[in-house]
Chain A
Amino acid sequence: MIQISFSILFIILGIAFILMGSIGILRLPDFYSRSHAASKSDTLGVMFVIGGLIIYEGFTQSSLKLLFIILFIALSNPIGTHALARAALKKGIKPVLYNRSTEEEKK
Chain B
Amino acid sequence: MEDFFLYTAVVLTIIIAIPLIRVVKGPTLFDRLLATNAIATKTIVLICLTGYVFGRIDMFIDITLAYAILGFLGSLVVAKYLTSYKIRRQREQEQSS
Residues of chain A touching chain B, judged by Cβ–Cβ distance below 8 Å, are 4, 8, 11, 14-15, 18-19, 21-23, 25-26, 31, 34-35, 38, 42-43, 46, 49-50, 53, 56-57, 61-62, 65-66, 68-69, 72-73, 76-77, 79-81, 83-84, 86-88, 90-91, 93
| Residues on B facing A (Cβ under 8 Å) | 1, 4, 8, 11-12, 15-16, 18-19, 21-22, 28, 30-31, 33-35, 37-38, 41-42, 44-45, 48-49, 52, 57-58, 61-62, 64-65, 68-69, 72, 75-76, 79-80, 82-83
Q: Are A68 and B65 closer than 8 Å at their CB atoms? A: yes
Q: How many pairs of residues, A versus B, come closer than 8 Å at their CB atoms?
A: 127
**B34 cross-chain contacts in A, Cβ below 8 A:** 25, 31, 34-35, 38, 81, 84
For A11, give the chain B residue with the smallest CB separation: B8
- Chain A residues touching B, majority SS: helix
**Given A38-B34, A73-B44, do A25 and B18 touch, yes or no (CB 8 Å)?**
yes
With both beta carbons as reference points, the residue of chain A lying nearest to B46 in the complex is identified as A49
3 pairs of A and B residues whose beta carbons are closest in the complex? A83-B79, A22-B18, A76-B72
